[in-house]
Amino acid sequence: MKIGVLTGGGDCPGLNAVIRAAVRKGIFHYGDQFVGFLEGWRGVVDNRTMELDLQAVAGILPRGGTILRTSRTNPGKRPDGLDRCIEMLRQNGIDVLIAIGGDDTQSVALKLHERGARIVGVPKTIDNDLSGTDFCFGFDTAVSIATEAIDRVHTTAEAHNRVMVVEVMGRDSGWIAIYSGIAGGADVILIPEHPFDIDDIAERLRQRHTRGRYFSIVVVAEGARASKELASQHVTSSKLDEFGHVRLGGIGNELAAEIEQRTGFETRAVVLGHIQRGGSPTAFDRVLATRYGIGAIDMVHAGESGCMVALRGTRIISVPMAEALGKTRVVDEDLIRVAEGLQHPTGEEVAGSGS
C-alpha cells in the first residue's frame, strides 16, 4: 500500500517515534511505501512531500519536534481546500493517510474521510485534552518538564521566602497543571475546570505562612480564570489561528501581582511556555507513541478509516474520530479530589508536611 503521513497542530515530543514505528512496521511487515506530507495539512494542499523510507526514520526515536514539520493550516478555511486535499492524495497515489494530530487535525481528517478519502488518526497533544483516549503522547514529557521546573522553583522560593507562581500550558484543560502540581508538591493548583477566587487563594497562602511556612508554590494553567477579578481567560494575542483559537497566556504574572498586593508576600511568576513542548520524549511517551504508530498501521491494513488509535486502560484500541471531537476532555474529578486531599484544612500544619 502507499501510505501518506502528516503531523499537524502544535508539535509534541513523540511525533517522530510514531512516524518511525508506522514506517518500520509498514515496510517490514506489509511491504508498504510511505510519503510524508510536509507541515501538516499545508503540505497536502500545496503538494509538498518527502519520501519516508527506513533511512529517513533512522535515529529519530529520541528526537523532539517532527521530521515532517507542522503547521496549524486548516484546508477548510480555503474555498477549495478540502477538494484540493482529496485531489493531492489521489495525485500522489495515496491509499490511506495517517494524520497525527490533535482535535483540529482530526476534524479535517474526518471531513476528508466523509468525502471518501481513507484516513486513520493518531492522537497527539501535550494538553491531553482529546476525548476518546486516556492519554496522548507528549503529555507525560510536558508534565516531567513542568515538574522539574517546579522542583527548581521550590528551592529558590524557599531561599527567598517567596511565593512563586508557575504558569503551565494546557489550553482549556488543566491536565498539565494538576499532574505537575501534584508531582511537584504545589500548595495551590489552579485549573480552567474550576474558576478560583483570588481572595481565597490569598487567604490560603496567608494561613499557610501563619503555620510557620515561609514560602509557597502556586501552579496555574494558562487557561485558568478567576470567578470575579481576572474572570476572563488571559490571552497574549486575540488574533485567531485558522482553527479559531486565541493564544492563551499571561495569567501567571497577573496572579502574582494580585497575590503580592493582597498578602504582602514577595511573589514572582515563571511562564514555562514552549519549553514544555520541546526536546526529547520521556520513555513513557516513546513507548506510547510507538504503540500508536504500530496500532495505526495495523488499522490501515484492517481496512479501517475515519477511526483513531487510542489508549483505553492499558490497551490500544480503535475509536471513531467523531468520538474524539467536539468536546474538550477535562480533568477527572477523581484527580481534583486527590489534589484537594493534600490541602491542609486550617489550623496547625503537621511538621514536615506540605511542600
Catalytic machinery residues: 127
Unique residue bearing C-alpha cell 503555620:
211
* Cell reading at 235: 490571552
Inter-axis angle of helices 175-183 and 139-160, nearest 10: 50
Residue 244 CB, nearest approach to ligand F6P (Å): 13
How far is CA 57 from each of CA 34, 36, 77, 94, 157, rounded to the nearest angstrom? 11, 11, 32, 19, 43
Q: Which is nearer to ligand F6P, 277 or 286 (CB)?
A: 277
Yes or no: say if 168 and 146 are a contact pair by the CB < 8 Å rule. yes
* Cβ-based nearer residue to ligand F6P, 16 or 125: 125
Provide, rounded to whole angstroms, the least separation between the CB of residue 127 and ligand F6P.
5
CA distances from 292 to 15, 59, 254, 323 (A): 10, 18, 39, 17
| Residue whose CB is less far from ligand F6P, 52 or 150 | 150
User: Residue 4 or residue 43: which is nearer to ligand F6P going by CB?
Assistant: 43
What is the chain's length? 355
Output 170 or 295, the one with its CB closest to ligand F6P: 170
Q: How far is the CB of 169 from ligand F6P (least distance, A)?
A: 3
Minimum separation from the CB atom of position 339 to ligand F6P (A): 20
Sign of the torsion angle spanned by Cα atoms 270, 273, 277, 280: negative
DSSP 24: H
The minimum distance between CB 56 and ligand F6P, in angstroms, equals 25
Whole-angstrom distance, CA of residue 21 vs CA of residue 215: 46
Radius of gyration (Cα) for the chain, nearest Å? 22
Q: Which residues in this chain contact ligand F6P in the complex, by CB under 6 A?
A: 10, 125-127, 169-171, 222, 247-248, 277
Q: Cα–Cα distances in Å, from 187 out to 178, 195, 259, 311?
A: 11, 17, 14, 31
